[in-house]
A = this chain, B = another copy of it.
């Protein structure tokens, strides 16, 4: 039987050693732990980019995985530390600063409290190691979530950008870039309601709608349905983020 599965998503930098310390704690509690790095390269303190990454990646993992997410500019202040069990039973641990927003609707949420199963943190600056990893180990041991701390009904949520469908148009904006410089937008492919796209504007520029960026000419700006369920903007064999910036460029789709 395979051991418990943990995923890590942070802005620590893969080489910082901080993720390794979290893994040491998990492995000390569960020698047979399986640990997957989702990313340690979330842009520092960028909660929206981290939330989008979680949204794109976590659905691909087995349902029994425990997900640790740490982008945490307020570590050591009085921001709460959360366990969220989302509508599908997926377990997430992270700070109460909006990072977990995509998973909060309908979730059971608890604050990891000072009087609960997790001992008070040794450090005020590294709750990934001292709070979230011990809480994850506790859950993986079958410890009841109630023992972590009190229920939370008002978790912090990001002002999560949503596309605006209106008649034959859907308007949105760019939100974040992947390492290729491909841009995620606030328009979900589900927002298209199955209709075809006849026209796209990125800012004022008309661009072609493609099934895949590989269909564009080299250097062409294109729009296409991305693999993570969002409309994306890319430059074929180029970098759209460098050309347009990462965030806040208006995107308008006309549906046919």
Picked from B35, B77, B212, the residue with its CB within 8 Å of the CB of A124 is B212
Q: How large is the interface on A (under 10, 10 to 19, 20 to 34, 35 or more residues)?
A: 35 or more
Q: Is the CB of A27 within 8 A of B23?
A: no
Q: Is the CB of A214 within 8 A of B74?
A: yes
| Least Cβ–Cβ distance between A47 and chain B, in angstroms | 12
| Least Cβ–Cβ distance between A140 and chain B, in angstroms | 14
Q: Is the CB of B212 within 8 A of A44?
A: no
Of chain B, the residue at the smallest CB distance from A75 is: B214
Q: Is the CB of B57 within 8 A of A17?
A: yes
Neighbouring B residues of A2 by C-beta, 8 Å? 3, 31-32
Neighbouring B residues of A130 by C-beta, 8 Å? 227
Picked from B5, B16, B41, the residue with its CB within 8 Å of the CB of A39 is B16
Q: Is the CB of B212 within 8 A of A75?
A: yes
Q: Map CB proximity to B onto A213-229 as digits: 1 under 8 Å, 0 otherwise.
A: 11100000000111100
Q: Is the CB of B25 within 8 A of A60?
A: yes
Neighbouring B residues of A61 by C-beta, 8 Å? 24, 27-28
User: A123-B227, A214-B76, A227-B125 in contact; A24/B12 too (CB < 8 A)?
Assistant: no
Neighbouring B residues of A224 by C-beta, 8 Å? 124-125
Q: Is the CB of A27 within 8 A of B62?
A: yes
User: A17-B57, A38-B17 in contact; A214/B32 too (CB < 8 A)?
Assistant: no
Q: Is the CB of B24 within 8 A of A36?
A: yes
| Least Cβ–Cβ distance between A59 and chain B, in angstroms | 8
Q: Map CB proximity to B onto A50-78 as digits: 1 under 8 Å, 0 otherwise.
A: 00010011001110000000000111110
Q: Map CB proximity to B onto A109-144 as digits: 1 under 8 Å, 0 otherwise.
A: 000000000000011111001100000000000000
| Least Cβ–Cβ distance between A20 and chain B, in angstroms | 4
Neighbouring B residues of A60 by C-beta, 8 Å? 20-21, 24-25, 28, 129
> 26 interchain pairs (CB within 8 A)?
A7-B20, A12-B179, A13-B41, A14-B15, A14-B37, A14-B39, A14-B40, A15-B40, A15-B179, A16-B39, A16-B179, A21-B57, A21-B227, A24-B61, A27-B34, A27-B36, A28-B60, A31-B62, A73-B214, A73-B237, A75-B213, A77-B215, A124-B211, A125-B212, A125-B232, A130-B227
A21-B60, A124-B212 known; 16 other A-B pairs, CB under 8 Å? A2-B32, A12-B179, A13-B41, A16-B41, A16-B178, A17-B38, A17-B56, A18-B178, A24-B36, A27-B36, A28-B60, A31-B34, A60-B129, A73-B237, A125-B213, A129-B227
